[in-house]
A = this chain, B = another copy of it.
């Protein structure tokens, strides 16, 4: 997200003071500009590369592919190559991926419910930050 990022570097005494919950692990996976969007979209079922690219508006090929590879490496989605020509490939959530994508739902809902408020806020956001600095 953009982002969300890595997380804690090896905590020796396991879950010592420093606040750590499962969120750390989750963030490692969904960190990437478009990853949450990709995952959430895949809830709709197997999706071809092209579809995905059109759905996740503005993502570049390079990054989309890269994200897909990483998500596959993380075991949340699977790439299916139909070995046809012209190429035909689609992506599916694994069981793990599905549960993850479902965990994103509340965020989506929240965004939808507060859409109006957010737009107001985003409009003033920059001036707000500036006047604070001044």
Interface of A is mostly: helix
CB distance from A28 to the nearest CB of B (A): 7
CB distance from A66 to the nearest CB of B (A): 10
State A128–B76 Cα separation when bound (angstroms).
14
Any B CB within 8 A of the CB of A88: no
Which chain B residues lie closer than 8 Å to A73 at the CB level? 121, 125, 128-129, 132
Q: Is B2's CB under 8 angstroms from A5's CB?
A: yes
**What is the interface residue range for chain A against chain B?**
35 or more
Q: Chain A 68-79, CB within 8 Å of chain B: the 1/0 string?
A: 011001110000
Given contacts A4-B4, A19-B37, A99-B114, 17 further A-B contacts (CB under 8 A): A1-B32, A2-B3, A3-B3, A18-B58, A19-B57, A22-B111, A23-B36, A23-B104, A24-B111, A26-B107, A27-B37, A27-B107, A73-B128, A100-B110, A102-B106, A103-B109, A107-B107
